[in-house]
Chains A and B, each alone.
Chain A
Amino acid sequence: MEWETVIGLEVHAQLKTRSKIFSGAPTAYGAAPNTQANVVDAAFPGVLPVLNGEAVRMAARFGLAVGATVHRRSVFARKNYFYPDLPKGYQISQYEHPIVERGRLVIATAAGEKVVGITRAHLEEDAGKSLHEDLGGFTGIDLNRAGTPLLEIVSEPDMRSAAEAVAYLKTLHTLVRYLDICDGNMQEGSFRCDANVSVRPLGETRLGTRAEIKNINSFRFVERAIDYEVRRQIALLSSGGQVRQETRLYDSVRDETRSMRSKEEANDYRYFPDPDLPTLVLTEDLLAEVKAAMPELPDAKRRRFCDQYGLSAYDAGVLTASRELARYYEDAVQAAGAEPKLVANWVTGELAARLNEDGLDIGGARVTAQALAGLVRRVADGTVSGKAAKDVFEAMWAGEGDADAVIAARGLRQISDDSAIEEVVRQVIAANPKQLAQYRAGEEKVFTFFVGQTMKASRGKANPAKVNEILRRLLAP
């Protein structure tokens, strides 16, 4: 039997606010335990939540970016359950009336563009962390993360393969960083994903029973976890078994999903509107402010890069993968004054390779956009050869100064002066009468010998185009 995979994703994007969603405690990652949790986060008696306006603006920005309905009225609800890292005994979330509903995200798949529906996105607070390491048989509770603002983004079950799921996640990941609402750091848990996976016989329209896979915190693991889960479900169904609706945990070490028995107890969360927080009303002023601050989105930027700079769709895609990279590119083009394609080649070529090698993102580039532009200008005006320019770039990366300084210090200035090159060429021809004879007898391949000898004699500095031209002229019978 042929099977069809159906995937829906729930992403928790941590919003980049300075303070928490309902308290003035800071949201910085990695601080000593319980140093970023105040009396509100620790749910002391009598304290109250007050909503962070920036979290609301960020959620609205996201809603507008995915073409969703941004509701003028939305409601915070309490999700009640007991867990030691949930200090109030409830999580403040949005349930019946989320702030964002019915959006869409266009993703690139092997078969072309595909639209994935976004069911909803709602604001909620994060819980603290339970630490299970050796604490004398106890579990330790760190509330630093408690109250950190999250935007939970729920997709429709529109994806049909692990690859599509990854494409959706990457597109979403790019988008939230473009919108400057989430730093996207998956290791630190700023961008977390749960996957709802089911399979059904091809042609069936009803959904199969799904399993929810939690704890998948890299794009690679998303693909692997889904692939494993799909195989598991197909094997189960093929052998006459049934898929259980349950929560499963992805274990990246064993590359498998397994049932989370501790979560099996049927929960009754008793959602109800939080009486400490009246209805959230978005004013037209606030929405206008959010619209005015909306950055250029990845799609629009990609199209503009193709049109404005004459780039290929591929290069435009690479250069707009992040807002920072796109800005670097545009800064370099502006500083170079021209040559957008040449700049693109350098950014996607040497620069990208070097960043990758050093494990840096564009923010860590040791050659600024202006400095790179300086180098590109010297390549364009023939001051250095393309080959020498790569050495110049390496030297710049190593901190030896700007392009002109490196070229001067290392004597890499290209010889483009016709008479100087002609002088070298004449010496080379004179020193190789045998090869001259062969060439003149019609052995065309000897030409490259003369190019090599000339470059060698000029210690690589002769302009290769000029060398070719002059050799052709002087070798001619």
Chain B
Amino acid sequence: MTPTITKIAEDLAAGRCSSRELVDDALARIAAQAPLNAFVTVDPEAARRDADAADRARRAGAGGVLAGVPIAHKDIFCTAGVKTTCGSRMLADFVPPYDATVVGKMKAAGCVMVGKTNMDEFAMGSSNETSYFGPVRNPWDRDRVPGGSSGGSAAAVAARLVPAATGTDTGGSIRQPAALCGITGLKPSYGRVSRYGLIAFASSLDQAGPMAQTAEDCAHLLSAMAGFDERDATSLDVPVPDYAAGLGKDLKGLRIGVVKEHFAEGVEPGVLDALREALREYERLGARLVDVSLPNSAHAVPCYYVLAPAEASSNLARYDGVRYGFRAPDYQDLEDMYKKTRSQGFGPEVKRRIMIGTYALSAGYYDAYYVKALKLRRLIADDFARAFTQCDVLAGPASPSTAFALGAKNTDPVSMYLNDIFTIPVNLAGLPALSLPAGFAGGLPVGLQLIGRYLDEARLLNVAHRFQQATDWHARVPAGL
């Protein structure tokens, strides 16, 4: 069984295993679990070559915690010389000539990429069913969705195919699949991790982060991923702490804000039960629960479904069949080429969001939709600021339900959108948040969402880590692997 990064690092350091062995093992598991459809691309030769290089480097005395650790990248991160599809026909054959900053940083830390994970097309989805390459299956129940959009990464970690994977989170795309697959996933503060080379969905909301078995592993990964990047104007020029070194502080006196609106109707009873039990565990660990309210977060979904599609409609205008990517085979003239290329290259959900965004920005509707949503965004962010005067972290569900059945929410886009009701407000405010395994309901994992103050990832990770030292939900593995 694939151990945690912390364990792998010990084994590698002690010479109990080699990176090459770990990579071969990962490749074998990926092949054996092909029906999960977690990967779009696997590159065995490059992975073995990089693993051998990592082993040589280690023998020469080089390499940190992550050196030689196999990882997977969500197929939204550009990888030089390796196909990067973003889950879309539009980029089905696109090979970028550059690495995303996150990819470059992970490489520099010694991680060995074994492949690229499946995802909702252009990260637009909460079930991984919008991928051009077919849906990903949840390792806990293969008739259920893994969540989305980072569903391939979540399934790959949950099925222990790789110890860790990268994800991106625009409205919950790391936390919701982490919750549905029973792993730990962190969305850092906006600006903490560079967006360069991360294919944009909604630029003011997108943020990359780690997905792994434990908070401790996420801490190692975040230390490698985060940091200033001169190629991203929204990247923060602030020092990156050693997140793993900050773990282990006890939780005495920690004030956990329990969001009133998040423990309410609309959340599955089994999920609520598991979360209440998790909160009791925190009390046992010395934390104090405080009731807080985020009154405007109820409007976050409508607000998000104006802002994210508006930005997306513009971000996805570059896919026009001129410089890269798909171009429709037959066309009459330029207009026809544009329209055929874009209608054949994009799937239905992407087109739906482009249409919504285009409409919301168009003449006569801009103030009513777009500006109104920006004002709500302010109110939602202000709610968090107010709540954080009463507590240190906020706690609640990452998703209102456990993993739902494949196809269950395909007919009504709105019901799918409401899945992200608890994760979306965090992106609007730009705050860090993570989901950690907090129990089971009906045999399916339940995720606890912890939300932190701006740039307070270290505290979030510590709060999650202490919980994982006291519980073993994160160590549970799906049957049949």
State the A residues within 8 Å of B (CB).
39, 42-51, 78, 80, 82, 84, 87-90, 139, 141, 268, 270-272, 274-278
Contact = CB atoms under 8 A, between A and B. Distances in A.
A271 B334 CA distance: 23
23 contacts: A44-B324, A45-B84, A45-B199, A46-B77, A46-B78, A46-B100, A48-B196, A48-B232, A50-B232, A80-B314, A80-B361, A82-B317, A82-B338, A84-B320, A89-B317, A90-B314, A139-B334, A270-B314, A270-B358, A272-B310, A272-B361, A274-B203, A275-B204
Contacts of A278: 233-234
Interface in B326-362: 334, 338, 358, 361-362
Interface stretch (B34-42, B91-99, B137-145, B292-300): B91-99
B203 A276 contact: yes
Contacts of A46: 77-78, 96, 100, 195-200
Nearest to B230: A50
A42 B196 contact: no
Interface string B183-198: 0000000000001111
Interface string B303-329: 000000011011011101011100000
B317 A276 contact: no
Given A39-B98, A45-B199, A268-B363, 13 more contacts: A45-B78, A45-B84, A47-B196, A50-B232, A51-B233, A87-B322, A88-B317, A90-B317, A139-B334, A270-B361, A272-B366, A272-B370, A276-B200
A50 B233 contact: yes
B421 interface: no
B271 interface: no
B86 interface: yes
Interface residues of B, number: 43
B318 A89 contact: yes
Contacts of A277: 233
Contacts of A44: 78, 96-98, 323-324
Contacts of B323: 42-44, 87
B406 interface: no
B202 A275 contact: yes
Interface in B354-408: 358, 361-363, 366, 370
B49 interface: no
Contacts of B94: 45
Q: What 5 pairs between A and B have smallest CB-CB spacing?
A: A89-B317, A275-B204, A275-B203, A270-B361, A46-B197
A275 B170 CA distance: 13
A275 B312 CA distance: 10
A87 B323 CA distance: 8
B56 interface: no
A272 B314 contact: yes
Nearest to B205: A275
B86 A89 contact: no
Secondary structure class of chain B's binding surface, majority of residues = loop
A45 B233 contact: no
Contacts of B59: none
B231 interface: yes
B187 to A, nearest CB: 17
A78 B314 contact: yes
B314 A89 contact: yes
B195 A82 contact: no
A27 to B, nearest CB: 19
A270 B356 CA distance: 13
Contacts of A87: 318, 322-323
B311 A88 contact: no
B76 to A, nearest CB: 8
Contacts of A272: 310, 314, 361, 366, 370
Contacts of A141: 322
Contacts of A88: 317-318
A44 B86 CA distance: 13
A222 B212 CA distance: 65
A256 B202 CA distance: 46
A164 to B, nearest CB: 34
B200 A80 contact: no
Contacts of B324: 44-45
A353 B381 CA distance: 69
A43 to B, nearest CB: 4
A39 B361 CA distance: 27
B197 A47 contact: yes
A84 B233 CA distance: 26
Nearest to A49: B233
Interface centre among B195, B202, B231, B318 (most CB of A within 10 A): B318
A390 B155 CA distance: 89
Interface centre among B98, B196, B323, B324 (most CB of A within 10 A): B323
Contacts of B311: 275
Contacts of A50: 230-233
Interface in B59-97: 77-78, 84, 86, 91, 94, 96-97
A295 B86 CA distance: 51
Nearest to A84: B322
